[in-house]
Amino acid sequence: MRPRRFVPAGPLKGRIRVPGDKSISHRSIMLGALAVGETRVTGLLEGEDVLATAAAMRAMGAHVERTGEGAWTINGVGVGALLQPEAPLEMGNSGTSTRLLMGLVSSHPITASFTGDASLSKRPMGRVITPLSQMGASFEASDRANSSQTLPLIVRGASPAVPITYRLPVASAQVKSAILLAGLNTPGTTTVIEPVPTRDHSERMLRGFGADLTVETDAEGARVITIRGEAELRPQVIDVPGDPSSAAFFLVAALVTPGSDVVIENVGLNPTRAGIVEVLTAMGGRIEKLNEREVGGEPVADLHVRHSALKGIEVDPQVAPSMIDEFPALFVAAALAEGVTVTSGLDELRVKESDRLAVMAQALIAAGARIEEREDGLVITGTGGEPLRGTAGEDTIETHLDHRIAMSMAIAGIASREGVLIDDTRPIATSFPVFETMLDTLAQDSAQG
């Protein structure tokens, strides 16, 4: 365990560039590993989750090599030619690696065993097992004492797999992507119906790699995505934009710390991801988009953010999928806003790296915030700009192996009087290894405890 007390900081000032988008980084490696020829990636997120994907694709035959900081080359094996991995695929903390790779394995004539850390081993896999079983894959608990809906699991791919039409029962880009990736090596057309739109990086990137993929809207407004199988993917050159989910911590930190003025460069603002910018702006946050452009087929801008008097709002549950990973950071902003913030429709937060509703409610209450935890959201009464009390003495916030809890409570710490002591900062490396260095550089006066 690596505990740390995050203490009140002076104004945050300067320019930062957050690491590459986690979702796009995973997909760059997976699709590169299935293309024939050399894919070159720059700006790749070198966090533990993405490294788990890289190791798994290597174990299944691709050449995945780091050539410089964030610069990687991938020589793929071609769709249909993944090799049987010799050892279990170690997924660490990464739900995205696990669910998407289960999709890939499901339509290849191979068997792979998936293992994960304590957090990942509690997360529901039934949501991918159901559709992938319909496609012909089979799933078995590798540890018989264990449920067959959680890791560790053995996946046996089907050859050939059967194309399906599947309506997503939960708004999940991971489930959608698992089915589309399985569809790549399935004869015929695989269809996913998505009643509530989720991040569309898989669709954009599969098209970019040359897959025959269509997206239409049906009479009820649901997105209907089809992919034609036995695809041939062409290698690509990809520049990964900065991760809006990582930028979110610095947006909130600058908004709640008096005197702050920060520019976050190169932030991906795909509309299926940018909900946090809208919501913070609606709360009165001063966030300006500068230099709007396209990077790697995704809309990108530099975000200029200044300390602002935030006001509580009722957050429309419709925006939840476009900021699903940003709620822990938003809860911190709400705890320091004036008035009440109401969130709802967030049941999915209970099955992330931790139960983010319960864990954030407990953590913020321990730091002096006023929170009511409901079944599907939090109701937060803010301080009106006053710092939170913080945690006293040895009182420690438990982060439950959840990187976003650790980073959110770090921000709560710099916006508190006494600071906030966190049990373990190591999970931060899953998505944002340079988070602490960036925070310390921006907060000239912050001292490590």
Binding site residue list: 22-23, 27, 95, 123, 172, 174, 325, 352, 356, 404
Number of residues engaging ligand S3P in binding (CB under 6 A)? 10
Contact 185, 229 (CB under 8 A): yes
CB within 8 A of 151, min separation 6: which ones? Answer: 91, 98, 114, 115, 116, 120, 121, 123, 125
Starting at the edge strand found earlier in the chain, the sheet holding 237-239 runs 63-68, 71-76, 37-42, 237-239
The tokens describing 101, both together, are 């790779």
Q: Are strands 37-42 and 237-239 parallel, antiparallel or unpaired?
A: parallel
Binder of ligand S3P out of 177, 236, 246, 408 (CB under 6 A): 177
Task: Identify which of residues 75 and 130 has a Cβ nearer to ligand S3P in the complex.
Answer: 130
Q: Does 173 bind ligand S3P (CB under 6 A)?
A: yes
Question: 21, 200, 325, 423: which one is catalytic?
Answer: 325
- Give the separation between CA 271 and CA 198, rounded to whole angstroms: 10
Instruction: Considering only the stretches 135-143, 152-160, 171-179, 433-441, report the one whose residues sit in contact with ligand S3P under the rule CB under 6 A.
Output: 171-179
- Give the separation between CA 129 and CA 43, rounded to whole angstroms: 32
Other residues' Cβ atoms within 10 Å of the Cβ of residue 259: 11
Number of residue whose CB is nearest ligand S3P: 23
Instruction: Considering only the stretches 172-180, 357-365, 372-380, 441-449, report the one whose residues sit in contact with ligand S3P under the rule CB under 6 A.
Output: 172-180
Instruction: Considering only the stretches 166-174, 394-402, 415-423, 439-447, report the one whose residues sit in contact with ligand S3P under the rule CB under 6 A.
Output: 166-174
Work out how close the CB of 285 gets to ligand S3P at its nearest, in angstroms, rounded to a whole number. 22
Q: What are phi and psi of 274, to 5 degrees?
A: -95, 15
Q: Is 126 left (phi over 0), alpha (psi -120 to 50) or beta?
A: alpha
Q: Does 430 bind ligand S3P (CB under 6 A)?
A: no
Q: Does 172 bind ligand S3P (CB under 6 A)?
A: yes
Q: Does 325 bind ligand S3P (CB under 6 A)?
A: yes
Q: Residue 97 carries which side chain, given as an amino acid letter?
A: S
Q: Does 52 bind ligand S3P (CB under 6 A)?
A: no
Binder of ligand S3P out of 53, 98, 174, 186 (CB under 6 A): 174
Instruction: Considering only the stretches 112-120, 173-181, 226-234, 248-256, report the one whose residues sit in contact with ligand S3P under the rule CB under 6 A.
Output: 173-181
CA angle, 407 then 413 then 418, to 5°: 160
- Give the separation between CA 94 and CA 222, rounded to whole angstroms: 28
Work out how close the CB of 335 gets to ligand S3P at its nearest, in angstroms, rounded to a whole number. 22
Q: Does 96 bind ligand S3P (CB under 6 A)?
A: yes
Work out how close the CB of 20 gets to ligand S3P at its nearest, in angstroms, rounded to a whole number. 13
CA dist 215 to 207, 225, 273, Å? 11, 5, 18
Binding mask 336-375 for ligand S3P (x = CB under 6 A): ------------x---------------------------
Work out how close the CB of 324 gets to ligand S3P at its nearest, in angstroms, rounded to a whole number. 5
Contact 286, 308 (CB under 8 A): yes
Q: Does 280 bind ligand S3P (CB under 6 A)?
A: no
The packing angle between helices 201-208 and 173-184, to 10°, is 20
Residues 190-229 that bind ligand S3P (CB under 6 A): 199
Rg of the chain taking only CA atoms, in angstroms: 21
Annotated binding site for phosphoenolpyruvate: 22, 95, 123, 174, 356, 404
Other residues' Cβ atoms within 10 Å of the Cβ of residue 40: 16
Work out how close the CB of 18 gets to ligand S3P at its nearest, in angstroms, rounded to a whole number. 15
Work out how close the CB of 172 gets to ligand S3P at its nearest, in angstroms, rounded to a whole number. 4
Instruction: Considering only the stretches 78-86, 170-178, 205-213, 294-302, report the one whose residues sit in contact with ligand S3P under the rule CB under 6 A.
Output: 170-178
Of 150, 160, 107, give the one whose Cα is nearest residue 129: 150
Binder of ligand S3P out of 35, 104, 264, 324 (CB under 6 A): 324
Q: Is 325 a catalytic residue?
A: yes
Kindly list the residues in this chain that would bind ligand S3P in the complex (CB under 6 A). Answer: 23, 96, 172-174, 177, 199, 324-325, 348
| Catalytic residue list | 325
